[in-house]
């Protein structure tokens, strides 16, 4: 099946997709879901890293203030 045929297909009650069409559609959906999941996971861990660095800086500042008696 050509990409043009696949892109032209629209789900409707009068025309059932072929098994080949369904297989290709599901493959593409799975690939997009995988990419989306990977991106979300990367963003999640990047945010965790930023939060950890922020907390470390806060703790370092708190320790410094405590040692200097300014707290």
Q: What is the pLDDT of residues 45-59, one digit of tens each?
A: 999 999 999 999 999
Residue 71 pLDDT > 80: no
**Using CB atoms within 10 A of its CB, is residue 42 exposed (0-12), middle (13-18) or buried (19+)?**
exposed
Give residue 5's pLDDT band: very low, low, confident or very high (50, 70, 90): confident
In this prediction, residues 24-40 reach a mean pLDDT of 95
Domain count, the chain: 1
Structure tokens at 45: 């861990």
pTM score > 0.85 for this model? no
Q: Could you tell me the residue range of the domain that residue 17 belongs to? A: 3-68
- Rounded-to-integer distance, Cα 12 and Cα 21, Å: 14
Q: Which residues pair with 12 in a beta bridge?
A: 15
């Amino acid at each position: 099946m050509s990409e043009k045929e696949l892109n032209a297909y629209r789900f409707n009650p009068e025309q059932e997709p072929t098994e080949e069409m369904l297989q290709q559609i599901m493959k593409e959906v799975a690939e997009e879901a995988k990419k989306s999941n990977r991106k979300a996971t990367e963003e999640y861990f990047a945010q965790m890293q930023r939060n950890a660095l922020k907390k470390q800086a806060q703790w370092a500042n708190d320790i410094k203030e405590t040692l200097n008696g300014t707290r």
